[in-house]
Structure 1
């Protein structure tokens, strides 16, 4: 079965022009009575500003870290405003180019950035051809010290971990290649130690997103668990975050922190529909009768067992949901296999697939193991963005296993179509139960962040509330309205997780507003918030 296409995205280019015709000139303008006040820092000391965090601090966008994205990072935008009122130099560990990706000794370890391919995100190389990733953690690391200590992929406890930037630890999975680029002659220094060694007067800290996001990105399959709330520093979120705040403020540094958005509202989880199977698609439509025959036999068993919520039916008139594996369901594999084997008509049933009657026990076992914890998706399920490239394709590993059990290659392929005849694996979908785990952890982490900020007298950015606004109607800033829609919403980049440059600008304004509220500065009242329209939403494939 060919790949089935589900998502059709389009972009809108807005071209704004100013009219300079004489008749449009106001010859009697209204004079504003009050000029904006001069920018002041209030009680804040920006003379030595350090930022700590993860990819959101580093300026990661479009699935990669590259120079243009770094230049539009929140801390870099802030540093330019801080410089007006006494802020010093702000040094970032810039990558080598605008291609994105990482290499180690000439061997690629992460790929280049995503670009817009006309209907959605595509790899850069699919548009411009093969490229050489120039940012090499062995060959060309920049020299510090660095003010931007945002490390893509970092969780809260990673900021305390010694050796997290040691090249020798990368192959062991104990180090982060992005932090390797920063550590230089002190490979075992921690992110926090690197920050305090520079005696900051002001800091921003946005950490904790990956402590839940990693679980979400893996579909809650258990390979990337949520950080526990309790535990010692470097393990549990509460004591880890407390250690970060205590250490950063111990010498009198001021700062602003941000809480964690509910990641299930970002476009990485809201773009792929639960019901993408279109009966007008000829690659799918021809399979519907056969599929309904197979699932009809299973549905009788589900009904007899009182598990009608597991009934699977594909419609010939409207879009159908995909079939998923749901680990929260009771495993009915044995019951399915037993019921099919006990059915005297089942050997005849399997003959319609070109199999001999003697294959009935084999098929019964395969159907039991495949659909024992399966159901069709509902609108309460969320699908990770990469699943759009998987649904409707043949899982070659599964097909190979079926061939190994005696099925023909053709039949094995028909029984291995992702989301149709083969339930989508846990890593592709967030079930309601997994979403609840994420929401519970996010609430707990945000309570810790809020309490820590209040106790230390730090400014607080409500990033969670900001995302909620983006996801529910959008936010208007100047002449632009930003939403959380992929591509056309302007706030989120092509990876569906990280902001665009315009999204980072919107966030930078929120940081400045929070600083105003806590330290008496007047970035907003003096007109020094940035104009989000000055920041791009899309980078050209030719930007290198």
Structure 2
């Protein structure tokens, strides 16, 4: 009835110290004007953040990705005006992720590469042993998976191996290890994971707004805005304790990332459904469901078109569950059809479709769901066993409009805190929300290229649909530099993004 459309949706598509009272100058600049750090002192730069600061890309952390992380690019520019050495806790190879006893740990898998059809993992295993400990301290303290409150949580290294591999002790905090370095300048971009894990999981977590105890949170929960505010304020207070200057960034709306924007809500062409016969078969099921839902709720599921693309069928847990009212109608129908198990089958149908509806604008079908749509649901009857067509995509497959709004509200609250703290401390501020909106709406032109958020081809994002590509990280670094120049009177030129590749190849 339907063809397997895995990946079909996707392809039809880079030293002189000075103190606070000195101005570092390099006479060799591209336009003949001497470079200056302005009022900033880059002699000791420390970067805090999550996977973006770490240089995570293509679904993994690996050495080449780390080398191109935006803090590393910034440090190279800072070195032109007095910036000192900048060390990174490099992974052991370019496979990515962690191994244990020479075996790749599944939740820390290898990086992806594009094989001409879609993203696939490179062969492994990684040689980065999860129990190996590095001797620090390190300037780049970006940690994949970190949420705001994690950076002030004692013993976080026992929960996150990316920190555990270089933490100064078993009980230290990320902030303590950063503060011990007495940085003269810092960058802080944190908070994305406070909503992102919820969003990328399709909203399977809990919105913890109102819960001030992060120790009770699950991995996929939304952080309470007051918890975020307390953590972010503590981080900036600790990092500025020695009068260090710095730059902070706010958060874009997550649903502008390719992870959420690549797969359309209406990907079911008549051809993919098997032509007119396939459409008619699905409409037979939909007509039955519409009847069982009743007139008031029938439009949850509309009949499919035989001439244009159609929306996928999804489960929306925010909908009133209509299974109870559907059971008697379905029982009567199956009885008329001579089904000896009419009551049992009616109940099964009602439980499956009681909160079903078709996807609509405002919903976001997740990137991995492209390989699920149209596949067979194990254990389901053959008449209702195609995901997104005759069986609803489940909670983890789609971020619904209701879930998206919860993420937006939390993001807006976090951003109010970030801007307020930045202003109160006189810090440089990067508006990544505006930057991301530009990437979505026509792109950003730089060095002869226009970079957009388009998956694979846009140039800004890697193959995981969330983290930047090398060129994307270079663009981010340039935006940080713009904010630093504006706040501190420096005149760093930034980097030429054309020197940074769009995607990493299979072999590095």
Verify same fold: TM over 0.5. Answer: yes
What RMSD, in angstroms, separates the aligned Cα atoms of the two structures? 1.8
Alignment of 1:144-163 (within 5 A): 144-163=136-155
**Pairing 1:176–2:172 present:** no
**Pairing 1:77–2:67 present:** no
Of 313, 316, 335, the match for 1:347: 335
Residue 181 of structure 2 is matched in structure 1 by 198
CA deviation after TM superposition for structure 1 residue 282, in Å: 6.4
Q: Distance in 1 between matches of 2:455 and 2:238?
A: 38
**Pairing 1:265–2:256 present:** yes
CA deviation after TM superposition for structure 1 residue 182, in Å: 1.4
Residue 5 of structure 2 is matched in structure 1 by 4
**Pairing 1:275–2:266 present:** yes
Q: Distance in 2 between matches of 1:282 and 1:263?
A: 31
Residue 323 of structure 1 is matched in structure 2 by 313
CA deviation after TM superposition for structure 1 residue 186, in Å: 1.2
Residue 133 of structure 1 is matched in structure 2 by 126
Q: Distance in 2 between matches of 1:327 and 1:10?
A: 31
CA deviation after TM superposition for structure 1 residue 346, in Å: 2.9
Give the structure-1-normalised TM-score. 0.84
The answer to whether the Cα contact below 8 Å between 2:249 and 2:432 also exists between their aligned partners in 1 is: yes
Give the structure-2-normalised TM-score. 0.90
The number of residues matched between the two structures is: 475
CA deviation after TM superposition for structure 1 residue 286, in Å: 4.8
Q: Spell out structure 1 runs of 4+ moving beyond 4 A.
A: 282-286
Residue 307 of structure 1 is matched in structure 2 by 297
Q: Distance in 2 between matches of 1:492 and 1:376?
A: 29
Check 1:337–1:112 CA distance in 2 against 1; reply closer, same or farther (3 A cut). same
The answer to whether the Cα contact below 8 Å between 1:94 and 1:142 also exists between their aligned partners in 2 is: no
Residue 365 of structure 1 is matched in structure 2 by 347
CA deviation after TM superposition for structure 1 residue 10, in Å: 6.9
The answer to whether the Cα contact below 8 Å between 2:275 and 2:306 also exists between their aligned partners in 1 is: no
Q: Distance in 1 between matches of 2:284 and 2:79?
A: 70
Of 381, 387, 392, the match for 2:369: 387
Give unmatched runs, 5+ long, in structure 1: 12-33, 126-130, 167-174, 231-235, 352-356, 403-411
SS at match of 1:195: helix
The answer to whether the Cα contact below 8 Å between 1:302 and 1:311 also exists between their aligned partners in 2 is: no
CA deviation after TM superposition for structure 1 residue 414, in Å: 4.0
Residue 213 of structure 2 is matched in structure 1 by none
Residue 221 of structure 1 is matched in structure 2 by 204
Residue 67 of structure 1 is matched in structure 2 by 63
**Pairing 1:94–2:90 present:** yes
Residue 509 of structure 1 is matched in structure 2 by 478
SS at match of 2:455: coil
CA deviation after TM superposition for structure 1 residue 302, in Å: 2.6
SS at match of 1:205: strand
Give unmatched runs, 5+ long, in structure 2: 14-29, 207-219
SS at match of 1:391: coil
Q: Distance in 2 between matches of 1:461 and 1:281?
A: 44
Check 1:389–1:504 CA distance in 2 against 1; reply closer, same or farther (3 A cut). same
SS at match of 1:7: helix
Q: Distance in 2 between matches of 1:393 and 1:365?
A: 24
Residue 143 of structure 1 is matched in structure 2 by 135
The answer to whether the Cα contact below 8 Å between 1:161 and 1:190 also exists between their aligned partners in 2 is: yes
Q: Distance in 2 between matches of 1:284 and 1:458?
A: 59
The answer to whether the Cα contact below 8 Å between 2:110 and 2:125 also exists between their aligned partners in 1 is: no
Residue 34 of structure 2 is matched in structure 1 by 38
Residue 27 of structure 1 is matched in structure 2 by none
Q: Distance in 2 between matches of 1:308 and 1:337?
A: 15
Of 374, 393, 399, the match for 1:424: 393
Q: Distance in 2 between matches of 1:10 and 1:132?
A: 32
Residues 111-120 or 498-507, more deviating: 111-120
Check 1:328–1:237 CA distance in 2 against 1; reply closer, same or farther (3 A cut). same
CA deviation after TM superposition for structure 1 residue 285, in Å: 5.9
Residues 512-521 or 98-107, more deviating: 98-107
CA deviation after TM superposition for structure 1 residue 317, in Å: 2.2
Residues 470-479 or 285-294, more deviating: 285-294
- Provide, for residues 337-394 of structure 1, a one-character-per-residue CA deviation record: whole Å limited to 9, x for no partner: 02222x3x53233x5xxxxx21111111011101100011113211110101111111
The answer to whether the Cα contact below 8 Å between 2:10 and 2:263 also exists between their aligned partners in 1 is: no
Q: Distance in 1 between matches of 2:388 and 2:344?
A: 22
- Provide, for residues 207-256 of structure 1, a one-character-per-residue CA deviation record: whole Å limited to 9, x for no partner: 001111111101112261210012xxxxx111111111111111111100
Q: Distance in 2 between matches of 1:421 and 1:500?
A: 37
- Provide, for residues 278-306 of structure 1, a one-character-per-residue CA deviation record: whole Å limited to 9, x for no partner: 221365765433322222122123343x1
CA deviation after TM superposition for structure 1 residue 314, in Å: 2.6
Q: Distance in 2 between matches of 1:443 and 1:262?
A: 9
